[in-house]
Each structure stands twice: as C-alpha cells, then as structure tokens.
Structure 1
Amino acid sequence: MMMDHDDDSHDRTATDRRRFLKCMAWAGAGTLWTMHAGILQARTLGGEANAEDAASAMKDASFSFVQISDSHIGFTKAPNPDVTATFKAALARIDAQRVQPDFVVHTGDLTHLSRPAEFDTVDQLVRGSSTRRAFFVPGEHDVIGDNGRAFFERFGEKQTRGGWYSFDHRGVHFVALVNVLDLKGGGLGWLGPDQLAWLKQDLAARTSETPIVVFAHMPLWSLYPAWGWGTDDAGDALSMLGRFGSVTVLNGHIHQIQQKVEGNVTFYTARSTAYPQPAPGVGPGPGPLKDVPPGQLSSYLGVREVRHVQAGRTLALTDEALS
C-alpha cells in the first residue's frame, strides 16, 4: 500500500491497515499474510501480478500445512443446508494445491451435534482426501452429551488424559489445546490448571528461538467476551509463551477472519467451511448469518494455508475463499 510520507503517514497507514483487515473479514479474495518479527504484511491474492508476488513471498518455504475449521457436519439450515458439500469443496481445494501440504489442522466443530453419523462423515471425507495427516482439536459442538468421549476416541492423539498434545515438525513446535470443556460465564473457553501445568512442562525443553504454533478452537484472546469469544484463563498460557520469539495462534469458532498482534504473539481466527457468523458485536448475538446474498455463500467460507519459511523463521498465511 503506497502512502505519502507526510507527518501523519504513520497514523494513516495504521488506519488503512485496520480498515483493510476489517474488510478482509468479509471479502472473498484470498490473502497472503507474511509475518516478520511480529509485523504482519498483507497482500490480496488474485490476478497475475499478485499471483507472482505471492509465489515470490512463499518460494523459500520449507513446508506448509492447511488450517480448516468449523465444518459443522449435521447442520441443515440457512444459509447452508448442505455443509457436507462445502466441506468436500474445501478438501478438494486442498487436494488441488500445486504443492501438497504436509498435513491439515482442523480447529474444531467438526460436527454440529456430536452424533456418530456426523463423526463418521468427517472421518470418511478426510480419509478420502489426499492429505497425508490430519490433526484435530474439539469444538464445543464436538463434546455435546459425553464431554468429548466420542471425539477423542475417533480424532484424539491420546498423548494426555485431557486430550491436549504437542508435536514437532521441521523445527516448529506445535501445541494443540482444548478449551471447550467446562466453559465459563458467558460461554468463555477454559484451559484449566491441569492443562496449564502440562503446557509449562511441554514448553520448558524448547529454546526461545523455537517457532511455536498453538491451535485451539476458541480464541485465546479476548476477541468479544460478551459473546463468549475468548478463553477465560488464556493469559496464563500466553505468559508462558512470552519468552519465544515467534508464536502463532490459530483458532476457529467465530467463522470469520480476525487477527491481532500482541508483542511476539500473532493471533488468527479462520473462516468456517459451513456458514459465516456476524462481525463481533453486530446484531443481537452469534449464530449463523442467514441473510447471505444468493449465490455468495462460498465467498464467506474458506481454508487457510500456512507455509514455514526456514531462512527467516517466518510464517506466510494464505486465506482462500471457496468461491
């Protein structure tokens, strides 16, 4: 974005960036996010020039993975009575990538009502894709009635009794947290002392230069607490992450793109593959956004590709709508 270098250029740049991010929460174009020392740079995708720009920014990536979220298999109402079809479309977009990702991360709400048939559908569709490996965390819709037992049996990593886990991949440490059990007042997420104690121990062996990627269903920052869009004790987890030079937090739950940078931590929420929700504070509360213009649903849905750039220890993020 070109700006005149006058005295208020910094303020206008910040204003334009906020306006850009707000618009991108609803836009259908893909967005390439490149993080350098906690500073985000954004490029819209589309058009030959932008495609070349995106390819240039990502050419040094050592590996990539895809975030997918909120498939809500079993949902049958407006604005999307066929969420299975849009989930299939999301997986097909991943399969069509020129360079296949190393794995997929699903940040919760695989199902809408935690029914066995819904879990079966997710399992069959993911297994039928060309993805090598998939990692999951539960959403609140995945733990209805049984405190997550069916979810963890089918999609859990079984590293810990509580269902949280971690793994390393090509120099990056990934941490999967569970914040949808024992929800707090107003529906806020909750990690709990056992998980926080495990996280402290898990991070203790990592050097401060290790890039960290954390993923969970509900946002780990106070995005909009009045609607339960946050995690009550997230501050305890974030304090443990403060010594690391690069921390990226990926969440779902709110069905739209939002981002925030706090020091060395960059937070991102993702689009759903099922239906959009209103912007924070717009309307009476969260829930399916039913007044989607005819023929435009796919522009509100999408997936996110993340590439790790080894040389600069950066993460480049591309948000792609299904349209």
Structure 2
Amino acid sequence: MTSHRDDTDGDSITRRHALECMLWAGTGVLWTVSGGVPVSLNLLGEAEAASALSGGFTFLQISDSHIGFDKAANPHAIDTLKEAIGKIHALPVKPSFLIHTGDITHLSKAEQFDTAREIIGGAGFDVHYVPGEHDVIDENNGRTYLDRYGKNTKGAGWFSFDQNGIHFVGLVNVVNLKAGGLGNLGAEQLAWLADDLKPVSASTPIVVFAHIPLWTIYPEWGWGTDDSTQALALLKRFGSVTVLNGHIHQIMQKVEGNVTFHTARSTAFPQPAPGTAPAPGPMTVPAGQLRSLLGITDVAVKQGKTELAIIDTTLAGA
C-alpha cells in the first residue's frame, strides 16, 4: 500500500491540536498522524477495527470504474467493480452513502452507464456522482452523464449537500479538458462555490470531491487542476477540509494547512507512479498483483473530531 504525505506547513498541522487517525483496513494497521508523521499504534482485528470507527457515521468513495474497459491491464473491469461492491457489503461498519469520483464509464456510452448503475446500485446505498473525463466524451458534450446524474445539480453537474453536520461539495473539473492537460473548474463554478460556502460556518467540516486532484501532483501528465488555487482560497477559513479525488488510480496524500488531500485507487486498472513511465495510462501488472492495486476508500466521521479517518482497502485485502 503506497501513500505519499507532503506537509508544507507542519507547524500549522500541530496548531490544529488534534490527531488524524488512519486505519488501513486491508492490513489492519491503525496509524496516528501528527504533524504529518505517521506512527503505527497497533495491529487490529476486524472487531477492533469496527470499534475504532464506532460512534460516528461513515461514507465510502469508489472511483474510476471505467465500465467498458477491456484491455490487457484488466479485461474484466466489470468483475472487479462487482468485487468492490462485495467489499462494501462486507464492511464491519456500513457506510451512510457512497460517492463516485468519476470515470464511471470508459467511453461515455449509454449502455456502459446503465451497466455501472446496475452494479453500483446493487450496493443498496445512495450514491453521489461527479464525472470524470471519460464520462463526458459522448457526442452530446456530457449529456448522457447529466441525463442520469444531473438532477438537482448546476452547470456541468456540480452540487452540494449537508449530512451529519458536514458540508459536502461535488465539483466538476473535466469539462473542455485538453488531452494531457490540467483540469479546470471555470469562472461560473468558482462563483457558485463562493456563494455556496458563504452561509456555512467556519467550524463546519467540509468535504470536497472531484475527479482530477485539486493539488498539482504531476503537471506533465495533467495531474492537477489549473484554477484550484482559487477554490482552495475559498476554503481557507474552515477549520477542517478534506478533498477526495480519483483520476490517478493510486493513493497519494498531502496535508497542507487545514486541508487533507487524498486520491483513491481505481476499481478497474492501475496507473504508473508520476514520471515512472513515458505517459499515464493503463498499467499492466502480473495477474496476481492486480487486485492489490485496486480498491475502495471508506471515510469515518467521529463525533467531536474535526479530522476524518480515511480507510483504503484493496480488493486483495483481508
């Protein structure tokens, strides 16, 4: 399990006077992260893991299911999505809802969306979606996606909602995306975000989710969002902000000031680490390794804690 944490302002993390708990459910290791330094506390069994996360509510992130993908990197992307849904059913603490951070489909075809909805709907939970670039490449400029998931959203599909004292914001940064280019939010969405956040108290935890990361991981591959600085400036006044993304098909994490950034694995295929290949794209690995590079992300909110416990489970995890 690979995780990268880059603290550009360790003092500001310490000033938060709190510890962020991270439970890697696939290996049963509980980590406490203070000032960006992870310390392994204990090996946990399933029952202990459930106890550690009790007393709050959880929601679950899946990403990059790429229904319709059938190349060598994973010719059975439908099956691995089904395995991910099976993981959700087996969780000791059931999530309140799911979020999908984009690339539901591989080619934006209606039948691919329908297959994804049938499988993901089988989880039996409410699901909140934002599109990936592979979901808006149909000839109708993303209409196929919006017809299915655009109800009660604005513009290209952005929206917000409140649950259990947390303000959730789903952003869209894949419209008019150039091949290999950085994501873009655009002036209209940024203006909406400013208005959306105005009435929200600074003490309210914020969870933002979008497809492409809102921090620049590797600009040469378009792994970042060109105007994310403007969005993040609007989030500075909040004490706790968690940003969840997909797109890069691997776990990377960074804490910067009041913001924790976390990217998710895909349920379809892995991609290479930044700069380790000529270009991003499906990475073929030995069949026995594939499921250790695919997975889901569970996020737990404990009453009285501003930080969220982020749990990454691989399809090969126990």
Q: The TM-score by the shorter chain falls in which range?
A: 0.7 to 0.9
Q: Provide, for residues 157-182 of structure 1, a one-character-per-residue CA deviation record: whole Å limited to 9, x for no partner.
A: 43323310000001000000000002
Identity of aligned residues (%): 56
Question: Which AA in structure 2 matches 1:286?
Answer: P
- Secondary structure at the counterpart of residue 74 of structure 1: coil
Return the alpha-carbon distance in structure 2 between the equivalents of residues 84 and 239 of structure 1.
39
Question: Mind listing any 5+ residue stretches in structure 1 that lack a counterpart?
Answer: 1-9, 11-23
Question: Which AA in structure 1 matches 2:235?
Answer: L
Q: Provide, for residues 24-61 of structure 1, a one-character-per-residue CA deviation record: whole Å limited to 9, x for no partner.
A: 9xxx746656677x75746599x6x465664454233x
Question: Which AA in structure 2 matches 1:58?
Answer: L
Return the alpha-carbon distance in structure 2 between the equivalents of residues 156 and 167 of structure 1.
14
Return the alpha-carbon distance in structure 2 between the equivalents of residues 206 and 224 of structure 1.
32
Is the 1:218–1:229 contact (alpha carbons within 8 Å) kept by the matching residues of 2? yes
Larger helix share, 1 or 2: 1
Query: Residue 286 of structure 2 is aligned with which of 286, 290, 293?
Result: 293
Partner of 1:59: 54
Return the alpha-carbon distance in structure 2 between the equivalents of residues 274 and 129 of structure 1.
17
Give the 4+ runs in structure 1 shifted more than 3 A: 28-36, 38-45, 49-57
Partner of 1:154: 148
Question: Which AA in structure 2 matches 1:154?
Answer: R
Task: Note if 1:101 corresponds to 2:95.
Answer: yes
Partner of 1:14: none
Partner of 2:165: 171
Higher alpha-carbon deviation: 294-303 or 240-249 = 294-303
Is the 1:214–1:247 contact (alpha carbons within 8 Å) kept by the matching residues of 2? yes
Partner of 2:252: 258
Q: Kindly tell me: are residues 89 and 40 of structure 1, through their superposed partners in 2, closer, same or farther at Cα, counting changes over 3 Å? A: farther
Displacement after TM superposition at 1:302 (Å): 0.2
Task: Note if 1:268 corresponds to 2:268.
Answer: no
Partner of 2:120: 126
Query: Residue 218 of structure 1 is aligned with which of 212, 224, 248?
Result: 212
- Secondary structure at the counterpart of residue 287 of structure 2: coil
Alignment TM-score, normalising by the size of structure 2: 0.86
CA-based RMSD: 2.4
Q: Kindly tell me: are residues 42 and 271 of structure 1, through their superposed partners in 2, closer, same or farther at Cα, counting changes over 3 Å? A: farther
Is the 2:205–2:241 contact (alpha carbons within 8 Å) kept by the matching residues of 1? yes
Partner of 2:311: 318
Return the alpha-carbon distance in structure 1 between the equivalents of residues 37 and 298 of structure 2.
16
Question: Which AA in structure 1 matches 2:286?
Answer: P
Return the alpha-carbon distance in structure 2 between the equivalents of residues 307 and 40 of structure 1.
20
Partner of 1:7: none
Alignment TM-score, normalising by the size of structure 1: 0.85
Q: Kindly tell me: are residues 89 and 199 of structure 1, through their superposed partners in 2, closer, same or farther at Cα, counting changes over 3 Å? A: same
Partner of 1:284: 278
Displacement after TM superposition at 1:156 (Å): 2.3
Return the alpha-carbon distance in structure 2 between the equivalents of residues 158 and 309 of structure 1.
29
Displacement after TM superposition at 1:228 (Å): 0.4
Task: Note if 1:187 corresponds to 2:181.
Answer: yes
Q: Provide, for residues 72-130 of structure 1, a one-character-per-residue CA deviation record: whole Å limited to 9, x for no partner.
A: 00000112101000000001110112221100000000000001110010111122222
- Secondary structure at the counterpart of residue 79 of structure 2: helix
Is the 1:31–1:42 contact (alpha carbons within 8 Å) kept by the matching residues of 2? no
- Secondary structure at the counterpart of residue 296 of structure 1: helix
Q: Kindly tell me: are residues 90 and 170 of structure 1, through their superposed partners in 2, closer, same or farther at Cα, counting changes over 3 Å? A: same
Q: Kindly tell me: are residues 172 and 40 of structure 1, through their superposed partners in 2, closer, same or farther at Cα, counting changes over 3 Å? A: farther
The count of residues paired between Structure 1 and Structure 2 equals 293
Return the alpha-carbon distance in structure 1 between the equivalents of residues 166 and 286 of structure 2.
41
Displacement after TM superposition at 1:267 (Å): 0.4
Return the alpha-carbon distance in structure 2 between the equivalents of residues 298 and 70 of structure 1.
14
Query: Residue 236 of structure 1 is aligned with which of 222, 230, 235?
Result: 230
Q: Kindly tell me: are residues 296 and 53 of structure 1, through their superposed partners in 2, closer, same or farther at Cα, counting changes over 3 Å? A: same
Q: Kindly tell me: are residues 39 and 246 of structure 1, through their superposed partners in 2, closer, same or farther at Cα, counting changes over 3 Å? A: farther
Question: Mind listing any 5+ residue stretches in structure 2 that lack a counterpart?
Answer: 1-9, 11-23
Return the alpha-carbon distance in structure 1 between the equivalents of residues 31 and 134 of structure 2.
29
Query: Residue 201 of structure 2 is aligned with which of 201, 207, 211?
Result: 207
Return the alpha-carbon distance in structure 2 between the equivalents of residues 269 and 42 of structure 1.
21
Return the alpha-carbon distance in structure 2 between the equivalents of residues 114 and 158 of structure 1.
21
Is the 1:255–1:271 contact (alpha carbons within 8 Å) kept by the matching residues of 2? yes
